[in-house]
Structure 1
């Protein structure tokens, strides 16, 4: 197992570790992104060479680059293009294929990011195999987000709400993948993680979006192959950064550890719900100094979610803690743990 820092990440460290992980596993991340992208690109070719999309685009360019005012020929060309029943059937097939393919890419890249902390090299085939096990719920939650945010963004008044919800739901997919959360629970889980971190999440998203947009814009100028190459090169950057931020918020809020992430990953690989087991040597340190041993009822007995010592109910399923299922009592510990913190190296993987 390689030595790697494991959260929480501030902006500088998140940015640096994203590219560090990306370049350390460059060919394997590219392989994950390329597998489905190449297939989707091949599936898009019939639109140009069988259904006349290229001719239609050329017709549109004529009107964009000339002073021709008679648009009747263009309207007729559009009618002829969309009147093709074979085109409609193939278009519906392609939409489904695109949703599945691009979702597989994102889910497999998230799995590969987690693999980095446990394996000398990430395995693209394992990443795709595990991604497939939760892909349909992952697609469904992303469709729901797209429909809700898209519907709100249609109106000027709805745009701020769409942005607010889009950021608040950014980890819905990760909750499905890493925690096997059901649809409603995944939305609640993402909202809980983003709570008090909304502006931070927006800023991180804008930064990574700007970087990938610049790269994509430059590469897309290459004729024919520019767009798929841009997708292959930049999608891993976005997913790695987003996944590290997801891990970071769990470290900050819940004392999330590599031991628990390994449980998440193993359960994902096996198609099961994560079940956290006690690790006698692991101590969790929250961002604000809350500490507890994983042996001492650090997880909800109902859903397996991690807990903080000062909570009296499960943040995921709402189960109250009773006397036999409570976090350890830290009342006898001094409030100032600075001396102890100075000797703590932080949550590193050794």
Structure 2
């Protein structure tokens, strides 16, 4: 029980004005946008780190591709990819941590969220790796796809226990199982909706940029080729300045939409805790 109570902060002079109550499907989706809108400076202050670092690494890899020997290019490309994944996991961990504090109406800075994300980085990486290994291993067998989806949802809330309950990677999966148990279909529906909304918003922004580039561009290409170059850009097919601008836009759009999944997961996590563990009463007693 001590692990679960780690979410309650020691500074009891802070109170929570956000109503702690069970949320419906619509409440969670609406709350996802409401919290993002009311705390956009906090979330964008976190994702700007992703935008800057990943774009810089992308441009370094681009420079090496244009000017360096092929063997060097491969090494730099691998290092850039590794560095990008490190930044992504770090920033997502910070977003998850920030989302819980925002829901509980607690003051937090972007810097503090990123610092906590770095402190819990290896535990977060560990739980993500375990989740990916099982889900992907089952998925590639084809016959195991239903089981892949089942465990993907069952363990899908691992980030919150890692970041706020201080659990280990393995215990985070077990903790997620406890919360999802008995409500799998509901959790699946909410997770799917959050994922689709995030993807659709990202797709709309990217497609808008695509159409603008298609209308204003001087190069004659089919719409299909332009789509492919937008979502799967290849340096040898387009001029390097166009590639740099394209990556700037794509990474920027990804940075804008990243907080949605973290906020939605946090709301779902608290909803399950309130329903199953009376977390709202626990908070009132603690305060």
Q: Distance in 1 between matches of 2:21 and 2:276?
A: 11
Report the counterpart of residue 93 of structure 2 in structure 1: 107
1:40 aligns with 2:54: yes
Aligned partner (choices 238, 263, 278) of residue 255 of structure 1 = 278
Contact 2:90–2:121 (8 Å) recurs in 1: yes
> Structure 2: 5+ residue runs without aligned partners?
1-14, 210-245
Q: Residue 29 of structure 1 contacts residue 109 of structure 1 at CA under 8 Å; is this kept in 2?
A: yes
Cα displacement (A) at 1:4: 1.4
> Out of 187, 197, 214, which is 2:173 matched to?
187
Question: Whole-Å Cα distance in 2 between the matches of residues 13 and 119 of structure 1?
Answer: 17
- Count of matched residue pairs: 236
Runs ≥4 in structure 1, deviation > 4 angstroms?
117-121
Name the counterpart of 1:10: 24
Whole-angstrom distance in 2 between the partners of 1:252 and 1:245: 11
Per-residue CA distance 1:57-108 (angstroms, 9 max, x = gap):
xxxxxxxxxxxxxxxxxxxxxxxx9x93323322332233222211121111
> Which fold has the larger relative contact order, with Cα–Cα distance below 8 Å and residues 6 or more apart in sequence?
2
Between structure 1 and structure 2, the one with the greater Rg is: 1
Could you say which structure has the higher helix fraction? 2
**Structure 1 CA distance for aligned equivalents of residues 138 and 262 of structure 2:** 25
Correspondence for 2:83? 97
Distance 1:48 1:92, change over 3 A: closer
2 CA distance for matches of 1:44 and 1:16?
35
Aligned residue for 1:231? 254
Conserved? CA contact 1:37–1:101, under 8 Å: no
Q: Which position in structure 2 is the counterpart of 1:157?
A: 143
Structure 1 regions of 5+ residues with no counterpart? 54-80, 261-281, 284-293, 295-348
TM-score where L is the length of structure 1: 0.62
Q: Does 1:201 align with 2:187?
A: yes
The aligned residue for residue 20 of structure 1 is: 34
Contact 2:89 2:125 in 1 (8 A): yes
Change (3 A) 1:52 1:162: farther
SS at match of 1:170: coil
What is the distance in 1 between the residues matched to 2:124 and 2:88?
A: 11
How many angstroms does 1:117 deviate by? 4.5
The 1:120–1:159 alpha-carbon spacing in structure 2 relative to 1, beyond 3 Å, is closer
The alpha-carbon deviation at position 52 of structure 1 amounts to: 4.6
Q: Give the C-alpha shift of residue 21 in structure 1.
A: 0.8
Q: Distance in 2 between matches of 1:144 and 1:38?
A: 29
1:241 is the counterpart of 2:241: no
Question: Root-mean-square deviation (CA), in Å?
Answer: 2.4
- Partner Cα distance (1:2, 1:103) in 2: 28
Alpha-carbon offset, residue 114 of structure 1:
2.3
Quote how far apart the aligned CAs of 1:205 are: 1.4
